[in-house]
Amino acid sequence: MDGQINLFGEYQEYPKVQEKPKGREKYKTMQQIHGTIDGKICKHCQHCRSIEYANKYYKCELWILSHSSATDIRLKNTACGLYKEKGR
Ligand code: SF4
């Protein structure tokens, strides 16, 4: 386990980095770029936004914002390395 002690004296693990897409394949998720943090989900992140029309859609404000379902995120997704707890 790799990690470091943060400014508040808490041990914080480095995000687990996923494999890079091969060739011309593009990154499809924030988790591919920034890695994942175990035990955290997008639902509790400051950057998670909901947009409501006929249904409710969830987007990450740090990712590409469009009206396409391709940019939707799931609330139960494992959090990426840029996760920020709501209310901090
Ligand atoms: S955890 Fe990462 S992908 Fe999920 S909402 Fe926050 S910044 Fe976006």
Please indicate whether residue 37, judged by its CB atom, sits closer than 6 Å to ligand 1.
no
Q: In this structure, which residue's CA is closest to atom 4 in ligand 1?
A: 42
Pocket test for ligand 1, best of 31, 46, 60 (most atoms within 8 A of CB): 60
Instruction: Return the higher-pLDDT residue of 43 and 38.
Output: 43
Mean pLDDT computed over every residue of the chain? 90
Q: Is the pLDDT of residue 1 over 70?
A: no
Please answer whether residues 36 and 16 qualify as being in contact, where contact means their C-beta atoms are separated by less than 8 angstroms: yes
Q: Which of 19, 33, 27, 29 is nearest to 60 (CA)?
A: 29
At residue 88, does pLDDT exceed 80? no
Token look-up 């035990």 returns 39
pLDDT band at 19 (very low <50, low <70, confident <90, very high): confident
> Tens digits of per-residue pLDDT, 7-18?
999 998 888 777
